[in-house]
Amino acid sequence: MIFCILLFVFMGSVAADNSSLSYEQEPERSHRLIINQHEPFNAETGVDDLSKTFLTPSEIFYVRNHGPVPALQEPEHFNSTYMLQVNGIVESPFNISLGALQRFPEKVSMNATLMCAGNRRTEMSKIKTVKGVPWGPGAIGNAEWTGVPLWTLLSIAKADLDNPNLHVEFSGGDVFEGTTHYAQSIPMYKAGDRKGDVLVAWAMNGQPLTLDHGYPLRVVVPGFIGARSVKWLNRITVLDHESQNRYQQKDYKLFLPSVTWENVDPLWNITPALTQLSVQSAITEPADNSTIMHGSPYTIKGYAQSNGARITRVDVSLNNGITWQAADIVYQEKKGYDNRYWSWTIWALPVAEFPSPCVIVCRAWDTSANTQPEAAAHIWNLRGVMNNAWHRVHVHDDKHA
C-alpha cells in the first residue's frame, strides 16, 4: 500500500493497484444511517436525527461514494508518507506530507454544511424516474472542519489567485470502474478567495476524518454542491480549463425536463457545470406520512440552506400552500461576512392545535429573495439534481387516540 501511495506521488499516476480496493474492506458504519445503495456505499441521515443538533455527528453524517473506499492502511509513519501534491500552472509546485500540513500555523476550524446535489432526488422520481442514488431529504449535514485554507497552499505554490481563467482540480485516491478515479474542479474565483473558505481538511467535528468522509484528507468547498468537496485528496492541480474527469464533464449538470437519455449527449459539452447551491429547505419533523392527533400541540422542525447567503425567512403552510406563516429561526451562524453563512439554518414552528389530516409545506428565502420553486415537476431533470421544490409532508390524523 505504501508503494501504491508513492506511485501516486512520484508518477502523478491514477493507475493504482486495484487489488487494494475492495468493498469487503469497507469500514464499520452506524446502524442509524439509512442505506440507499450498498456498493458503492451511499447512505443518508434519518430525518429524525437531522435537525436535533446544529453539528451533525460524524457517524450519522450522510455518505456519498462513487466507488469503493480506498483501503488506506495506517503504516507506522503514515503522517510522513501520505503526500499531497500541489502542481499544474504554478511557479513553485510542491509535495507536502500530511504531518507537515497539520503543523501549518494557518490551521483553522470552520463550520460548514455539505449537501449532495442529489438531495431529495426521490421526490423527482415520483414524477418520472430519474437515474441516480435514491436520496430522501437527508443527503445533507453540518460539521466542524479543521484544516488549512486552500488559498494558502495555492499562494505557497505561487499560483495566480487573481486569474479568472484558471480552475483548481482536486484528485481523490478512490479508483474504480477499471481506471477512472474521482476528480473535480472549481473556478479560481472560489479556490483563490480568502473569504471563499475552501479548506483542505483532515478533521471533522474535532476528530480525524473517518474513512467514509475522506481520511486522511479532503476538500471542503462551502456553498458549492457536495460533489466538489473531494475526499481522499492526494493532488491539487491548477489548470487553464475545467477538470476533464467524467464526474465534472458528464455529471452534475442541469437540463430541461424535456431532455432524455436519447438526446442528452450533445448537451453535456455545452452545459455549464453546477457550482453554488440554490436555496433549499426541508421539514425534518414530522416525517412524511406521520400520524399526529388532531388538535394536539406539535412543533414542526427543519433545515434551510443557501449558497452562503443568509436565510432570511422560512415559510410554513399547514394547508398545502394556501396560507403561510413564518417559522422561528432557531439557530443561524455567519462567518464574519454577510455572504458566508456556510452552515445551515435550523428552524421551528410550534403549532398549538395540529390540523391533521393535512399537508405541511416549507419554503425558504435568502437575502436576494431567492426562493424555492413550487413543484418538482417544473425542475425535473434526468439526473434528478438540485431538487429544491417546496418540501411537502403528509400528516394523518390518529383516529384511535
Collapse the DSSP code of 111 into the 3-class scheme (helix H, G, I; strand E, B; otherwise coil) and give the result.
strand
Contact window for ligand MTE (CB under 6 A) among 56-64, 120-128, 339-347, 381-389? 56-64
Binding partner of 61, given ligand MTE, Mo ion, none, CB within 5-8 angstroms per partner class? ligand MTE
Tell me the per-residue interface mask from 175 to 214 with ligand MTE, x by CB under 6 A, - otherwise. -------x------------------------------x-
End-to-end CA distance of the chain: 60
CA angle 120–126–131, rounded 5-degree value: 70
Beta-ladder partners of 168: 186, 238
Provide the Cα torsion 218, 220, 225, 226; round to 10°: 40
**Amino acid identity, residue 41?**
F
Indicate the helix (H) or strand (E) that contains 156. helix 150-156
Q: How far apart are CA 306 and CA 364, in angstroms?
A: 9
Q: How many CB atoms lie within 10 A of CB 179?
A: 10
What would you measure as the largest C-alpha separation in the chain, in angstroms?
73
Q: How many residues does the structure list for the chain?
A: 401
Q: Are 318 and 358 in contact (CB under 8 A)?
A: yes
Residue 65 makes contact with ligand MTE by CB under 6 A: yes
d(CA 297, CA 195): 43
* Binder of residue 135, out of Mo ion, ligand MTE, none (CB less than 5 to 8 A by kind): none
Cα(1)–Cα(62) distance, integer angstroms? 27
Using CA atoms, how far apart are residues 172 and 212, in angstroms rounded to an integer? 13
| Contacting range for ligand MTE; rule: CB under 6 A; set: 55-63, 71-79, 125-133, 333-341 | 55-63
For residues 61 and 341, which CB has a smaller minimum distance to ligand MTE in the complex?
61
Sign of the four-CA dihedral 378, 287, 211, 335? positive
DSSP H helical ranges for 201-263: 246-249
Nearer of residues 202 and 232 to ligand MTE, judged by Cβ: 232
Q: Does position 116 bind ligand MTE by CB under 6 A?
A: yes
Indicate which of Mo ion, ligand MTE, none lies near residue 273 (CB less than 5 to 8 Å, by partner kind): none
Which C-beta is closer to Mo ion: that of 116 or that of 311?
116
Binding mask 133-152 for ligand MTE (x = CB under 6 A): --------------------
Choice from 50, 114, 116, 279 touching Mo ion (CB under 5 A): 116
Task: Give the shortest CB-227-to-Mo ion separation in angstroms.
Answer: 4
Residue in 33, 36, 41, 64 binding ligand MTE, rule: CB under 6 A? 64
In the bound state with ligand MTE, the residue whose beta carbon lies nearer, of 231 and 392, is 231
Per-residue x/- mask for Mo ion, residues 30 to 49, rule CB under 5 A?
--------------------
Kindly tell me which of 215 and 365 has the beta carbon lying closer to ligand MTE: 215
CB of 24 to ligand MTE, least distance (A): 18
- Shortest Cβ 279–Mo ion spacing (Å): 18
Kindly tell me which residue out of 33, 43, 221, 227 binds Mo ion, with binding defined by CB under 5 A.
Answer: 227
Q: Are strands 218-220 and 199-204 parallel, antiparallel or unpaired?
A: antiparallel
Q: Is 231 among the residues that bind ligand MTE (CB under 6 A)?
A: yes
Q: Which stretch binds ligand MTE (CB under 6 A): 20-28, 61-69, 145-153, 369-377?
A: 61-69
CA 363 to chain CA centroid, Å, is 20
Q: Which of the 8 DSSP states describes residue 68?
A: P
Catalog residues that contact Mo ion under the rule CB under 5 A: 64, 116, 226-227
Residues at the contact surface with ligand MTE, assessed by CB under 6 A: 61-66, 114, 116, 172, 174, 182, 213, 226-227, 229-232
